[in-house]
């Protein structure tokens, strides 16, 4: 959170944030919620990494928070690359990769950070 605020204050906000739904101290969902509660949130795309066992509940939470893309761990390099391209280029087809790894949220729900 400090890094995000520091980058915003320096006029160089993060374009993309990759978070884990199960981080120590603060999980990725709490981080996104805190970012969205800031007085003047900047538009930062979020990719959330989810655990398979929590997939259905956490995928719904991603949609509710407007998270751009979510992936299920373990994540392969090609899957992450495709997710990044999808998040940064909405409406542009990402190069072929493993099936069923990234979920898009409608563009009007892009994550605020």
Q: Strands across the sheet with 16-20, in order?
A: 16-20, 45-50, 69-72, 103-104
CA distances from residue 42 to 6, 52, 58, 83 in whole angstroms, order as listed = 12, 30, 23, 21
Q: How many independent structural domains does the chain possess?
A: 1
Quickly state the pLDDT bin for 5 (edges 50, 70, 90).
Answer: confident
Residue range of the domain that includes 46: 2-109
State the average pLDDT for the chain.
78
Quickly state the pLDDT bin for 20 (edges 50, 70, 90).
Answer: very high
- What are the pLDDT digits (tens) for 57-104? 899 999 999 897 999 999 999 999 999 998 888 776 555 544 433 433
For residue 20, the cross-strand partners are: 49
Tokens linked to 57: 């509940």
pLDDT above 80: residue 55: yes
Among 92, 86, 73, 88, smallest CA distance to 22 is for 73
Here the CATH number for the domain that contains residue 89 is 3.40.50.2300
């Amino acid at each position: 959170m400090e890094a995000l605020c520091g980058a915003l204050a320096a006029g160089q906000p993060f374009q993309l944030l990759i978070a884990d739904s199960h981080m120590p101290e603060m999980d990725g969902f709490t981080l996104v919620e805190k970012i969205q509660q800031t007085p003047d949130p900047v538009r930062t795309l979020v990719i959330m990494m989810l655990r398979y066992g929590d997939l259905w509940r956490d995928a719904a939470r991603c949609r509710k928070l407007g998270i751009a893309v979510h992936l299920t761990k373990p994540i392969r390099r090609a899957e992450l690359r495709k997710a990044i391209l999808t998040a940064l280029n909405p409406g542009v087809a990402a190069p072929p990769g493993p099936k069923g790894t990234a979920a898009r949220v409608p563009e009007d729900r892009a994550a605020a950070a």
